[in-house]
Structure 1
Amino acid sequence: MNYTYLDCLALFGVGGAHPGGLQLTKKLLSREKINEQTIVLDVGCGTGQTSAYMAEKYNCKIIGLDNNEMMLEKARKRFQSKNHPIETRLGRVESLPFGEESFDLVLSESVAAFTDVSKTLPEFRRVLKADGVLLAIEMVLEEQLPEEELFPITEFYGVPLILTEPQWRSFFQKAGFQEINIEKFHLTAHEPDLDNTTDFSLSEQLDEELYNILDQHEQFSKRYQNVLSFRVFRCCV
């Protein structure tokens, strides 16, 4: 069977697969005004690690959306085990199943990059309230690569293209965001703790091919560590 990188994440049930993991997520959320009245959309919620944290920390209303039923099932089990009343929805971010101005905060942790951003970012804008905030942690290309070198990367990860920081800004502007703040974080090694430990929700049967995909991901990460990076985008309507 030909598994994709995203299939691999789902079968291993990887939580916090985005750069910086839960540690960076906590830092970013701590800057926002989140309380019991805040309504949050966690797009590409995966196994629900971030949603569960927000429920425990802020007691806010959260909807977790993902296009992978396996991921959502693992998220539901997490929420049920912790008794969190978090709603889950199956859907695609290019066509969000929500009305206009439904959310105070939209969180995208390494999600938009895997989609058609020309459709996804306007959808984020559409479902945000007038004073809403989009927080996105997304892959960026630090320097241009020859097409023959870039193609294996986009093919492996299943992304349409990898955007540079200026290209991301342009897409956010075209989507209607007025205030766009971009931060570059330098991740450093820390002593092992719960925030840095990879979170897994393993499926019962794991094909050897999946381990090969993880190995390929590690090889790409090391080889292109100065070329493939990420940014934190904070965008307001």
Structure 2
Amino acid sequence: MKTRTFLITGATKGIGLALSQQLSAAGHNVVGLARHSEGFPGHLVTVDLADRLATEQVLHDLTSRYVFDGLVNNVGLVRPQAIGEVKLDDLDSVLAVNLHPAVLAMQAILPGMRSRGWGRVVNVSSLTVLGAIERTAYAAAKAGLMSFARSWALELAATGITVNVVAPGPTETELFRANNPPGSAGEKRYLSGVPMQRFGKPDEIAAAIAFLLSEDAGFITGQTLYVDGGASIGKASM
């Protein structure tokens, strides 16, 4: 197996941290971008990805020091609001944090991947793109990441660079559990939509992303893989 170097945004919690740990354990080099450090298994750069100028500066510095083989656009921001309560400033913030770093990071590492004729990009989207209450902004942003992937995949299809999407269902991260403790109404609501009747684990989502970053995934591009316990195909029969 060839050692690769991957850039991951939102890398220190939940799915991002699980992926970073898996890639590092497999012998790859991992560079993470996040606001806080929590025992990261690679090189972490602390940056607020909502700050466009700071993000651009960090990416410029990193691409001068690392040869990147791939990118995982994982950072996200959720501000739940019913449609009657959506504020345009909040909408803009959610769209910006979910989409702007993805474009900036892709633009930063693309020239190097092009020159080497190899690259892997995975955008982390969400099951909410299929419809979810109080997710007007978040679902739109995550749908945007899907659209990015399809367009980029077409543009880059002949370059050796693949671009795909992983769309997780409800995943048992610390943040999710803090908002939906065992036995809560939130837990029951989420479980009712998952045929497997359990939540995903960060390691399970990370494994799907890791596969799409691998050598073996070279003929897969422009695709969205739902990792959701069957939630995207409907409810199980009663």
Q: Which range, TM-score by smaller chain?
A: 0.3 to 0.5
Which of the two has greater helix per residue? 2
Which of the two has greater strand per residue? 1
TM-score w.r.t. the length of structure 1 is: 0.48
Task: Choose between structure 1 and 2 for higher RCO, CA contacts under 8 A separated by at least 6 residues.
Answer: 1
